[in-house]
Amino acid sequence: MVEAVTTKQVATIDSEVAVLPEQAVVEQVSDGSLLLNSLDQLMPEFAQPFWGLLQDYPILLALLLLFTGIIFAKVVQWGFTSILERLATRSKSDIDDRLVKLLTRPVFITVLMVFLMISVAALQLPLQWELRLDTVLITMIVLTWTFAGLSSVGLFLEFLSHIKNHFNLIEERTIPLFNMVLKGLIVAVSVYLLLGAWGVNATAWLASAGIVGIAVGFAAKDTLANLISGVSIIADAPYKIGDYINLDSGERGKVTHVGLRSTRLITRDDIEVNIPNAIIANSTIVNESGGPWVKERIRLQVSVAYGSDVDKVCELLKSVAVDLEHIVRFPLPVVRMRGFGASGIDFEMMCFIDEPELRGRLMHYLYMDIYKLFQSEGIEIPYTKNDVYIKEMPYFKQGE
């Protein structure tokens, strides 16, 4: 009895094994065939005879479907463009118009590729050929939308940054961060779809990528530190492009680029300095362009000799600052007496200038004008003087 049951079970298992490959082949259908069957079901009753006649001529049916696909893709592209252009006319910026131009081509190619898949199914090719051709067409669709997405990310973020009332998080300073994140997501989704289209198990690849990522993380820790610091700089925004900054490491200049890895400055010597973000993140940053305005106050130390008319000195110093170009008229320049020095009376003149990078040049002009004006007005600028006193030597007679 036991042997009979065992033999029956083995026979059943053998029969199932023998049937499984045949069932797998029968159930495997290309995407184009599924679309063709859906189109067959949607066909109106009055067109059924003509549709059945065309199925007897596969090449003619494929050409007819291809021609119909081109026309239908053009119609969909025109409708898609018309709707988006109407929406774009509500905004004053031309960014949305450029977005529309970038997205219309992928729409046309997608519709055309779908009809190409249906045309391939109509040719009644071998199943393996249909599957490969469908995979190639799906790959073209994914790549088309990937390139369009990568090209439109920057424009999309720029468009959102202009809508201040709804997207306060997306600003000019945060666009590079969102740009990198969105492009990374687009590439990751595209790779996942392409692996699925070609029948590659994405799970194993993801596991391998995780191990490789850990190894790369240890090998490129400095680069990762710069990237993390770049994200914090973009999010915190201690400075922006066009600001004039000083670092405690000695660098001073105008910011020309804020990237995820480094920040670039143009110094007063017209030399570009590329500073890693990890160094900037650990430095004390003096933003001369920060605050309520871009203007900066400069201070000049001036001394006059004792006995000078201090009221006149104050008026002269104010007049020098008011008459010079690029000195702000409001707030007005001020002069303060700071103390009694070893050689003269110490004054400090304070005034605001238009831009921080003009500080050195304007201080030069101010000192030159103050010196000339003091000379013409007879005001002495003190300097160190040494008086030498020679005492009379005693007179000694000869022989004493």
Residues of the chain with CATH 3.30.70.100: 296-377
**Per-residue pLDDT, 283:** 85
**Per-residue pLDDT, 15:** 44
pLDDT over 80 (residue 342): yes
pTM: 0.54
- Asked if the bond preceding 331 is cis, omega within 30° of 0, the reply is yes
Residues of the chain with CATH 2.30.30.60: 231-287
Q: How confident is the model at residue 355 (pLDDT cuts 50, 70, 90)?
A: confident
**Which residue do the tokens 């797998």 mark?**
24
CATH fold of 231-287: SH3 type barrels. (2.30.30)
Residue 63: partners with Cβ closer than 8 Å, 6 or more residues away = 119
Q: How confident is the model at residue 12 (pLDDT cuts 50, 70, 90)?
A: very low
pLDDT over 70 (residue 24): no
Cα distances (Å, whole numbers) of residue 208 to 201, 303, 347: 12, 73, 71
Closest CA to 159 of 209, 215, 91, 104: 91
Q: Which two tokens stand for residue 176?
A: 């590079």
List the beta strands (DSSP E) in the chain: 244-247, 252-258, 262-266, 272-276, 285-287, 296-305, 334-340, 344-353
Find residue 255's DSSP bridge partners.
265
Amino acid code (one letter) for 181: V
CATH fold of 296-377: Alpha-Beta Plaits (3.30.70)
Q: How confident is the model at residue 25 (pLDDT cuts 50, 70, 90)?
A: very low
How much is the CA Rg of the chain, to the nearest whole Å? 40
pLDDT per residue over 130-181, tens digit each? 888 889 999 999 999 999 988 888 887 777 776 655 555 566 666 777 787 8
**Per-residue pLDDT, 199:** 80
